[in-house]
Chains A and B, each alone.
Chain A
Amino acid sequence: MTGPDILKLIWPGPAPRRDQMPRFIRELSRSKLAVVGLCSAMAVVAMAVAAEWVPAYDAGRANIAERLRAPSLPAGAGGHVLGTDALGRDVLARVVRGARLSLVVGGAAAMVSAVLGVVLGLLAGYYGGRIDALIMRIADIQMAFPLILLAITVIAVLGPGLLKLIVVLGVSRWVAYARVVRGQVLVQRTLEFVLAARALGASDARILWRHVLPNVQTSIIVVTTFTFSSAILTESTLSFLGLGVQPSIPTWGRMLAEGREYLREAWWLTTFPGLALMAAVLGANALGDWLRDYLDPRLRL
């Protein structure tokens, strides 16, 4: 018998998950906010996917003759459902394209900070001592510096760019992961299954990966939803200030910045990209709130 097999005799692992999904859905449908969150999140994802099939008005194609057209129904035959911008570009097509960028930036940034934060949190919680002190001091310092200020400074100097943006947003958000993971690892490392694994000669890396990490994954999921929404918000703020990605990529933040010039004569330029942005953030936040209550009430602020 190998180590993990013997462990299974002591603790057979989590209960079979067969009835998990129905309960998940039942609980979800009971919370109105969660349903609203799910719907708006799905709407945004649908936009990002649908961007593939909206070639009718290419998001980048300008047509000065059609500039600043008000939203009109029905679509087709030259009608623009959400109107056109100052260069005659279709607002709907651009909003839909913007969804894609927001999801990519938010997702990638959350992934970067999750990897960083989880690794550092595991190390700090498991080893304790100086490593813990060092990592948590760095976390304190990082938290004491406003995120938006950090992002603005770095992008202002390095110049705009998709990859730079993802790195900046990702690297600056690891602290939440590290804190949550560390707190749980501190508890877990004294529990029987970790002690047993260690007694059986499992390496630290194996203990952390196979025995500790699976038990903190629910918290990681919850933190990810909030990291995701905050990364999306910061991205659009930077884009709004002209410090986001390359000008060739349509983003909600840049659309809002452009629409700002025509606030009085073309309300649709600022209204629709903002609504889309709000839907994305609201979706992630509402789902995150609900997931926290559902998976792990201890995480409540």
Chain B
Amino acid sequence: MWTYILQRLMQASLVLVGASAIAFGAIFLSGDPAPMLAGEGATRQEVEEIRQRMGFDRPIYVQYLEFARGALRGRMGISLRHNEPVFRLLAERLPATLELAVSATVFAVLLGLPVGILSAVRPGSIYDAGGMGGALLAQSLPVFWLGLMLILVAGSQLRWFPISGRGGVEHLVLPSVTLGTYFVARNARMVRSSMLEVLGQDYIRTARAKGLPEWRVIGRHALRNSLIPVVTLMGLDFGALLGGAVVVETVFAWPGVGRLMIQAIYVKDFPLVQGAVLMLAAGFVVINLLVDLTYAYLEPRARHGWDLSS
């Protein structure tokens, strides 16, 4: 187990190095920041002074190491637009993004599990066809379009829910549904296939042979055992959710990290873009790591790199 943890930690740090290199490289490619910082009408001498003061004249790997060292300590530079430390800006917005991601996950579980279970218990039935057809449809819906349609129907026409901004629980409904729908489908499909497999196992037949009522066979014996791959999938999806949040936050004017990032892109506030990318990627990596470790704890075979999907 310890070797595995060490391995995964190494891998996660490698990914973080990769992510920071992408974030750093992207800004580096975007052009010389010195004239931009100096502002319009600055003389060449002033630009040169800024370049030296900020260290833009040093070799690129030195600049990267400097950047990485700063990022590790939570120093990500100053936002060009807000004139505030990037880290503070991001930290202010992070709770909103997490709130959205968590509530979308809750929605995905609350709807996805029952649909998947029902489909697996009655394969080939109308529930199964409806559930899986719906899942296919849900996976094909463009997230931002779903958001727009919800705003159009539930927000403007029916006026059931507020359509923008953050506030009470009612503000969470439309964004969470928008962000969570795709993952409802993922969960439902995963629960179904995993449960179908478990239902064919000997111990299910034994449980039935003992005369247990069906709800108990399903609820106690089948569901528990089919949840392991589902939990893994959900963990991995939580990272994808952070990516999707960027779009949903933009549609619903949700004041999170994603919207901040997109706005920063529009005004070419590159330190802020850099910080946001790094923060979202780090969140993704940390969550994946936690999921993998939990999985390895629950399912010892996974520690040895065995392919459990087959």
Residues of A within 8 A of B (CB): 32-33, 137, 140-141, 144-150, 152-154, 156-158, 229, 233, 236-237, 240-243, 256, 259-260, 263-264, 267, 270-271, 274, 277-278, 281-282, 285-286, 289, 298, 300-301
Q: How far is the CB of B121 from chain A (nearest CB, A)?
A: 19
Residues of B within 8 A of A (CB): 11-12, 14-15, 18-19, 22-23, 26-27, 29-30, 129, 132-133, 136-137, 139-145, 148-149, 151-152, 156, 189-190, 193, 239-240, 242-244, 246-247, 250-251, 261-262, 265-266, 270, 273, 277, 280-281, 284-285, 288, 309-310
Q: How far is the CB of A71 from chain B (nearest CB, A)?
A: 15
CA distance A38 to B238 in the complex (A): 32
> Chain B residue with minimal CB distance to A300?
B193
> Chain B residue with minimal CB distance to A281?
B140
B266 with A270: CB separation less than 8 A: no
Given A146-B240, A149-B246, A264-B156, residue A237 in contact with residue B280 (CB < 8 A): no
A153 with B189: CB separation less than 8 A: no
CA distance A137 to B86 in the complex (A): 31
The 8 closest A-B pairs by CB, nearest first: A146-B243, A274-B145, A282-B140, A281-B140, A144-B15, A156-B265, A148-B243, A157-B26
Given A146-B281, A241-B262, A285-B139, residue A274 in contact with residue B148 (CB < 8 A): yes
8 A-B residue contacts at CB 8 Å?
A144-B239, A145-B284, A146-B242, A153-B23, A240-B144, A256-B145, A270-B149, A274-B145
Chain B residues within 8 Å of A281, by CB: 140-142
Q: How far is the CB of A5 from chain B (nearest CB, A)?
A: 36
Chain B residues within 8 Å of A229, by CB: 140
Chain B residues within 8 Å of A263, by CB: 148, 151-152, 156
Q: How far is the CB of A179 from chain B (nearest CB, A)?
A: 11
CA distance A151 to B139 in the complex (A): 20
CA distance A274 to B143 in the complex (A): 10
Chain A residues within 8 Å of B281, by CB: 145-146, 149
> Chain A residue with minimal CB distance to B309?
A301
A242 with B266: CB separation less than 8 A: yes
B189 with A149: CB separation less than 8 A: no
B284 with A236: CB separation less than 8 A: no
Given A157-B26, A229-B140, A237-B144, residue A145 in contact with residue B18 (CB < 8 A): yes
Chain A residues within 8 Å of B15, by CB: 140-141, 144-145
Chain A residues within 8 Å of B142, by CB: 233, 236-237, 274, 277-278, 281
CA distance A271 to B145 in the complex (A): 8
CA distance A147 to B19 in the complex (A): 12
CA distance A154 to B30 in the complex (A): 10
B280 with A256: CB separation less than 8 A: no
CA distance A153 to B139 in the complex (A): 24
Given A144-B15, A145-B281, A146-B240, residue A152 in contact with residue B265 (CB < 8 A): yes
Of B19, B136, B285, the contact of A286 (CB 8 Å cutoff)? B136
Q: How far is the CB of B60 from chain A (nearest CB, A)?
A: 15
| B22, B26, B143, B189: residue with the most chain A Cβ atoms closer than 10 Å | B26
Given A33-B136, A140-B11, A154-B26, residue A146 in contact with residue B280 (CB < 8 A): yes
Q: How far is the CB of B247 from chain A (nearest CB, A)?
A: 6
> Chain A residue with minimal CB distance to B182?
A233
Chain B residues within 8 Å of A271, by CB: 149, 152
> Chain A residue with minimal CB distance to B153?
A267
Given A146-B281, A241-B250, residue A158 in contact with residue B22 (CB < 8 A): no
Q: How far is the CB of A1 from chain B (nearest CB, A)?
A: 39
Given A274-B142, A277-B142, A278-B142, residue A157 in contact with residue B30 (CB < 8 A): yes
Given A152-B246, A153-B273, A301-B193, residue A144 in contact with residue B288 (CB < 8 A): yes
Chain A residues within 8 Å of B190, by CB: 301
Of B148, B273, B309, the contact of A270 (CB 8 Å cutoff)? B148
Chain B residues within 8 Å of A144, by CB: 12, 15, 239, 284-285, 288
Chain B residues within 8 Å of A237, by CB: 142-144, 247
